[in-house]
A and B are shown apart, each in its own frame.
Chain A
Amino acid sequence: MTTSSDLTGLTVAELADRIRTKQVSPVEVAQAFIARAEKLEPKIGAFVTPTQELALEAAEIAEAEIAAGNYKGPMHGIPVGVKDIYATAGTRTTSGSKVYADHVPDRDSTAVALLKQAGAYSIGKTGTVEFAFDPTGRNAHYGMPHNPWGLDRMPGGSSAGSGAGTAAGFFPVSLGTDTGGSIRIPSALCGLTGIKPTFGLTSRFGVTPLSWSMDTVGPMARSAEDAAIALNVLAGYDADDPASVRAPQVDYTTDLNGGVRGLRIGVPKEYIGDILDPEQDTAFRKALSDLEDLGASVAEISIPELAWVPALAITITGVEASTIYGELARTRRDELDPSVLRRVETAFFISGERYARALRARVLFTRRMNAAFTSVDLIATPTVATPAPPQGTERMTIGGVQTNVREALLRDTRIFNMSRMPAVAFPTGFSADGLPLSMQLAAPAFQDALALRVAHAYQQATTWHQARAEV
């Protein structure tokens, strides 16, 4: 027999199997997750707008559909945490901002619509940094969610509530967005598996923008298999998103069990070790060794251009964000999160010439990354330089190097936002303080399935992703 508390510890794949075979009903699943969230939300603060009544109604519909023989697939009857920058028809979408505290869209974002078509439903809108413009999870208006692995720790951002809520067992999978690492950073800090898909693979229609040339929609989950299941629903061309790509239709679960034998994994010798916590580094090296044991080969590669990444990211993200939010910064400055306001204002001073130069340099950088992929199949790095920092941290010392916390969280993830390639973050162990450690694997553009396959192979051989936080 499966109890309610057992249900909230299951993965999407496990829940789907029980729903498909009618061992458990979608309503029972919804009730279990709602009960857990009601009990623990005061400690975590994952939700901005819980939608539990709507979730129960959706679960009842799913139950009736399945009873009538209309099973839609593994997301049918699955509750999802939805980052509060995804438009949800009839449910407020704040974008983490006081300015939009009462904004109620009349149309779903494409991602939410696709999840509904697959029979999934939102269990609530989850906390985000205002306009997704910070990697820590802070939000002056709605608060920073608490990391289930250490309530005084940052959950990471900007998809902070999705990360904290998935890790706390409020929902088995969630939607995040990733412009500089906002899926992978909270996944890393909260012990989850999250994929930033290839830019253009998933639709951003109805998602509050930050940087139009890098914003990417993707899932956060407890396993690579679950991320693949969710990506199957989310991937696809959408005429409503100008950046959407007509990529070949792929089932991201088909090759999950293909293993890693014969695959070549490259590890950059520059940049990634410049700022890196020793425990994070040790877990990363051990994970690489585990992948070698599974049949992959690991080799050092040289990409000196990685040094360009911070300046490219600051310029491109800053200018594009200030283009979008500049008017708000001028006219409603007192209503914006001060940390966001300052970043938008700073970008006012970056010249158009420098922005254009950064765009051209990004093309060169992508060419260099493509060249690196002629000698390896995947590139591996730690996901973040540090385990989850204490909330309120601004500066920290990592491996003897003084840095600010934003740099520590963003420096490795945004490599693959610049190259717009897929990257999956997954757990590789725990620090002495009991905090999750993480690495990321990146693949060439549109080879998202390859990155998921290798993460899945690692998770078949290890148990880090199965650990659950005691809240």
Chain B
Amino acid sequence: MPEFDPEAFASLAAAMGINADAEHLEWLRAEVQATLARLVELDAIDVSDVPAEEAGLRHDGPGGAA
């Protein structure tokens, strides 16, 4: 997965309302990078069997509620 360029990351963070010093942003950049790398595995899950509009609503367990 491509790495965030520090300057681009700082711009993106500012656009998101993160008003932090350079040290914090550098820590956050590494953390975001590591987190997003970990989440790539979600992309390999075939979710086509689950309608998106149901995913946030259905409990899908016995009772079928919540």
Residues of chain A having any CB pair with chain B under 8 Å? 198-200, 213, 243-247, 307-308, 310-312, 314-315, 318, 326, 329-330, 333, 342, 345-346, 348-350, 354, 356-364, 366-367, 370, 419-421, 444-447
> A333 to B47, Cβ gap below 8 A?
no
Q: Indicate the member of A357, A360, A444 with the most B CB atoms within 10 Å.
A: A360
Does B54 reach chain A (CB closer than 8 Å)? Answer: yes
A350 touches B54 (CB 8 A): no
Do B42 and A363 have beta carbons less than 8 Å apart?
no
Q: What is the interface of chain B, defined by CB distance below 8 A to chain A?
A: 12-13, 16-20, 27-28, 31-32, 35-36, 38-39, 41-43, 45, 47, 49-50, 52, 54-56, 58-63, 65-66
Residues of chain A lying within 8 A (CB to CB) of residue B38 = 310-311, 314
Chain B residue numbers with a CB within 8 Å of A357 are 42-43, 45, 47
- Which A residues lie within 8 Å of B12 (CB)? 349
- 30 A-B pairs with CB atoms under 8 Å apart are A200-B65, A213-B56, A243-B66, A245-B66, A308-B42, A310-B38, A314-B35, A315-B42, A329-B18, A330-B17, A330-B18, A345-B28, A346-B28, A348-B16, A349-B16, A357-B43, A360-B50, A361-B42, A362-B55, A363-B54, A363-B55, A364-B49, A366-B60, A367-B60, A370-B60, A419-B61, A420-B59, A420-B66, A445-B59, A445-B62
Assess the B58–A358 pair: CB atoms within 8 A.
Answer: no
Given the contacts A348-B16, A445-B59, A361 and B45 also touching, CB distance less than 8 Å: yes
CB proximity of B51 to chain A, nearest CB, Å: 8
| Distance (whole angstroms) from the CB of B23 to the closest CB of chain A | 12
A18 to chain B, nearest CB (A): 38
Q: Is the CB of B66 within 8 A of A346?
A: no
A360 touches B61 (CB 8 A): no
Cβ contact of B32, chosen from A330, A349, A354, A367, cutoff 8 A: A349
- Docked-complex contact B36 and A199, CB < 8 angstroms: no
Residue of B at shortest CB range from A445? B61
| A243, A310, A315, A345 pick with most chain B CB within 10 angstroms | A345
Inter-subunit contact A308/B27 (CB<8 Å): no
Interchain CA distance A245-B64 in the complex, whole Å: 10
Q: Which residues of A contact B16 (CB under 8 A)?
A: 348-349
Q: Which residue of A lies closest to B25 (CB)?
A: A345
Known A315-B42, A444-B62; judge A350-B55 contact (CB<8 A): no
Residues in B whose Cβ lies below 8 Å from that of A315: 39, 42
- From B18, B35, B38, B66, residue with most partner A Cβ within 10 Å: B66
When chains A and B are docked, how far (Å) is the Cα of A391 from the Cα of B62? 40
Kindly provide the distance from the CB of B8 to the nearest chain A CB, expressed in whole angstroms.
Answer: 12
